[in-house]
C-alpha cells in the first residue's frame, strides 16, 4: 500500500467544500453521506450534535456564562493548513482536540497536533504529538483517520497511523493525556497495521483498548489488540482467539478478519464487532471484554451461506446491563432485483441473541451500493442507527431501551459522499441523540449541520454555514457537546474551528 499525501486529501475536501447546503431548521429533514460508505473494511464511531441558536459562549479570554445552544464558531489555534480534526469532551465541558497539518515537506508530509479547551477560558497552546520528521504521510483514503478518545475525568489517548518508508508499511501510534500531567510519551502500538485501520475506546478509569487487523500469513488476517492502563503501561500485542467453526455457516480456509469496531463502557466492559470472509462466504463476529477475564464470548453472531446475500460493516454497542446492539449493511438479490437495508440484531443479557430485524424497510438499489451503518448506544440502552442511503441521503432511527426501532428520519439528501470521513453520531446519558455532517445542498457553499433528537423530535442547526467539512463531535453525560470541523480560509487554506453546545433548561 502506498501513502497518499495530505494535500491530495485536502484537495478532495476543498473540492467538496465547493458544494452547498440545503437544510431545514427546527425539526426539518436533512441528509448526509459518509466517506466510502459501502466499503467492507470501513469503520465508524458514534458521534452527534444538535442545536438551538448560535450564542457567544467562551472562545478564549475571560469567563462568561454560556447561553443554551451552539456557541459562535472560533478557530482552535488560528493556523493552517489543518485537517482531519478529532475531539473529546469531559464532564466539566473541557475538550481535547487533535488534527493533522502539513510537515516541512509540504504536500508530501504530515504532522499531528493537539490542544486542550478549558471551559470558560478557551483553547490552550497547540502541542506537536508525533515524533516523526514530518516528511511522510499519515493517512490514506482507506485508513482510519486520527482520533482521540477520552472519558468524563479528562483522561484521553490520541491515536494515528504513520507511514514508515523503510519497511513500507503503516504503523499505529498513540499518545496519552492526563489533566494533571498533560501529554505523555508517544508510543508505537503496532509497527504494521494491515489496511491501516483501527478502532479504540477508553473507560472511566483511563484504561484504553485498541484493536486492528493484523496479517498472520500471506492470505490470512486476524484481529489484534492491546490495552493501555492508567498506570502508563501497554500490554503485549495479542490476537483475539477465535474458536473453530463447523456446519453450514462456517467460514473456513484462508480468511480475512476486517473492519473491527469497538465500544467501551465507563465500567471497562467492551464489545467488539468485525467481519470475517473467505471471499465466498462471510460472517459477522462479536466478542466482549472485561479486565478480569479478557476477551470472552468470541462468537459468530451472523452467518451468510447464500451467494445472493452480502453482509458487511458490522458495528456494535453495549449498555450498562450488558445488552448488545449489532448493526450491519446487507444486500440481497431477490426476484431479479438488488435490495439493501441496514440490519440489526440484539443480544439480551442472560437470554442470548434475538432474531435479526431491519432497522428500516429494504429499498431497491440498482447499483448494489451497501451503506455502512453508524451506531451510538447510551448506557441506559437507548440506541441510534444512521446510514447514507444511496450514498447521499442520510437516514437515522432511534430505538428505546428495549431495542424497538422508532420511525425513520431523513436528515438530508445532500451528504458529501466524496468526504474521507463518516459523519459522527453521539448519544448522551439521557438518550438525546445528535448527528453532524457536511451538507452540499446550497449552491456555492458546503455547510456543517448538526441535528438533535430530543423528546421524540428532531431539530437542526447550521453550525458552520460555508466552506466547512470534516465534522468531529463529542458529547458528555449532561448533553454538552464539542463540534470541530475544517473551514477554508483564503489566506491560509483549511483551518480547524470549533463550536460548543450548552444544553437548555
What the block records as the C-alpha cell of 141 is 483514503
Count Cα atoms within 13 angstroms, Cβ side, for 39: 21
Q: Is the pLDDT of residue 72 over 60?
A: yes
**Mean pLDDT (whole number) for 22-46:** 29
Residue 373 has pLDDT above 80, yes or no: yes
Q: Which residues of 222-246 are buried (b: 16+ CB within 10 A; e: fewer)?
A: bbbbbbbebeeebeeeeebebeebe
Of 387 and 245, the structure prediction assigns the larger pLDDT to: 387
Of 142 and 63, the one with more pLDDT:
142
**Range name among 99-108, 233-242, 292-301 with the lowest pLDDT average:** 99-108
What mean pLDDT do residues 96-113 have? Answer: 89
Q: Stretch 159-175: mean pLDDT, rounded?
A: 88
Average pLDDT taken over every residue of the chain:
86
Peptide bond into 442 cis (omega under 30): no
Residue 46 has pLDDT above 90, yes or no: no
Tens of pLDDT along 445-480? 899 999 999 999 999 999 999 999 999 999 999 999
Q: Please give the domain boundaries of the chain with CATH numbers for all domains.
A: 6-500 (2.130.10)
Give the 3-state secondary structure of residue 154.
coil
pLDDT at 465: 93
Nearest to 408 by CA among 5, 29, 20: 29
Better-scored residue on pLDDT, 71 or 420: 71
- Could you tell me where the beta strands, DSSP code E, fall in 185-318? 187-190, 198-202, 208-215, 221-228, 238-239, 256-264, 270-277, 282-290, 294-304, 309-318
The whole-model pTM stands at 0.87
Q: How confident is the model at residue 48 (pLDDT cuts 50, 70, 90)?
A: very low
Per-residue pLDDT at 163 exceeds 60: yes
3 state SS of 400: coil
Mean pLDDT of 296-324: 94
- What does the pLDDT look like over 120-140, one tens digit per residue? 999 999 999 999 888 888 876
pLDDT at position 156 over 50: yes
* pLDDT at 35 exceeding the cut of 70: no
State mean pLDDT over 260-280: 96
Cα–Cα distances in Å, from 44 out to 11, 106, 413?
23, 29, 20
| Sequence-distant contacts of 112-118: CB under 8 A, at least 24 apart | 112/138, 112/146, 112/158, 112/160, 113/77, 113/82, 114/148, 114/158, 114/175, 114/177, 114/183, 115/76, 115/77, 116/177, 117/76, 117/482, 117/498, 117/500, 118/94
pLDDT for 40 beyond 80: no
Higher pLDDT, residue 416 or 258: 258
Name which of 23-27, 70-74, 337-341, 481-485 the model is least confident about: 23-27
Confidence of residue 141 (pLDDT cuts 50, 70, 90): low
Q: What is the mean pLDDT of residues 194-220?
A: 93
pLDDT above 70 as % of the chain: 86
Query: What pLDDT is recorded for position 148?
Result: 98
Query: In this structure, are strands 54-55 and 69-71 parallel, antiparallel, or unpaired?
Result: parallel
Structure confidence at residue 4 (pLDDT): 33
d(CA 224, CA 475): 28
Q: What is the mean pLDDT of residues 290-295?
A: 97
Amino acid at each position: 500500500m502506498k501513502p497518499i499525501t495530505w494535500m491530495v486529501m485536502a484537495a478532495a475536501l476543498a473540492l467538496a467544500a465547493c458544494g452547498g447546503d440545503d437544510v431545514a431548521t427546527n425539526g426539518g429533514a436533512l441528509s448526509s453521506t459518509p466517506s466510502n460508505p459501502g466499503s467492507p473494511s470501513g469503520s465508524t464511531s458514534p458521534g452527534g450534535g444538535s442545536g438551538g441558536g448560535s450564542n457567544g459562549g467562551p472562545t478564549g479570554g475571560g469567563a462568561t456564562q454560556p447561553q443554551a445552544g451552539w456557541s459562535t464558531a472560533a478557530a482552535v489555534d488560528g493556523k493552517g493548513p489543518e485537517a482531519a480534526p478529532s475531539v473529546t469532551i469531559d464532564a466539566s465541558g473541557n475538550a481535547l482536540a487533535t488534527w493533522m497539518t502539513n510537515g516541512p515537506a509540504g504536500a508530501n508530509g504530515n504532522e499531528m497536533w493537539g490542544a486542550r479547551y478549558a471551559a470558560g477560558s478557551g483553547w490552550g497552546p497547540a502541542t506537536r504529538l508525533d515524533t516523526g520528521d514530518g516528511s511522510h504521510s499519515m493517512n490514506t483514503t482507506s485508513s482510519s483517520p486520527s482520533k482521540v478518545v477520552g472519558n468524563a475525568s479528562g483522561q484521553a489517548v490520541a491515536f494515528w497511523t504513520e507511514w514508515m518508508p523503510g519497511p513500507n508499511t503503516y504503523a499505529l501510534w498513540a499518545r496519552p493525556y492526563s489533566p494533571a500531567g498533560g501529554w505523555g510519551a508517544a508510543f508505537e502500538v503496532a509497527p504494521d497495521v494491515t489496511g491501516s485501520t483501527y478502532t479504540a475506546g477508553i473507560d472511566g478509569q483511563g484504561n484504553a483498548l485498541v484493536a486492528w487487523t493484523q496479517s498472520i500469513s500471506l492470505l490470512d488476517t486476524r484481529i489484534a489488540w492491546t490495552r493501555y492502563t492508567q498506570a502508563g503501561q501497554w500490554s503485549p500485542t495479542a490476537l483475539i482467539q477465535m474458536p473453530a467453526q463447523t456446519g453450514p455457516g462456517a467460514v473456513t480456509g484462508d480468511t480475512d478478519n476486517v473492519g473491527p469496531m469497538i465500544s467501551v463502557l465507563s465500567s471497562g466492559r467492551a464489545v467488539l464487532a468485525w467481519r470475517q470472509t473467505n471471499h465466498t462466504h462471510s460472517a459477522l463476529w462479536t466478542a466482549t471484554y472485561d479486565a478480569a477475564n479478557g476477551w470472552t464470548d468470541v462468537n459468530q453472531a451472523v452467518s451468510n451461506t447464500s451467494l445472493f446475500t452480502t453482509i458487511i460493516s458490522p458495528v456494535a454497542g453495549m449498555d450498562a446491563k450488558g445488552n448488545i446492539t449489532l448493526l450491519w449493511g446487507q444486500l440481497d438479490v431477490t426476484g431479479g432485483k438488488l435490495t439493501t437495508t441496514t440490519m440489526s440484531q440484539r443480544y439480551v443479557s442472560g437470554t442470548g441473541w434475538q432474531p435479526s430485524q431491519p432497522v428500516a424497510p429494504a429499498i431497491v438499489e440498482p447499483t448494489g451500493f451497501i451503506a455502512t451503518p453508524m451506531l451510538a448506544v447510551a448506557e441506559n440502552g437507548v440506541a441510534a442507527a444512521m446510514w447514507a442511503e444511496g450514498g447521499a441521503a442520510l437516514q437515522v432511527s432511534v430505538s428505546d431501551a428495549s431495542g424497538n426501532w422508532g420511525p425513520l428520519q431523513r436528515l438530508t439528501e445532500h451528504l458529501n459522499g466524496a468526504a474521507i470521513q463518516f459523519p459522527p453520531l453521539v448519544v448522551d446519558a439521557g438518550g438525546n441523540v445528535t448527528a453532524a455532517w457536511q451538507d452540499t445542498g446550497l449552491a456555492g457553499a458546503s455547510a456543517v449541520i448538526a441535528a438533535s433528537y430530543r423528546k421524540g423530535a428532531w431539530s437542526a442547526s447550521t453550525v458552520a454555514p460555508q466552506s466547512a467539512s470534516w465534522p468531529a463531535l463529542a458529547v458528555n453525560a449532561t448533553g454538552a457537546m464539542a463540534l470541530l470541523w475544517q473551514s477554508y480560509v483564503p489566506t491560509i487554506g483549511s483551518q480547524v474551528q470549533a463550536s460548543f453546545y450548552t444544553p437548555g433548561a
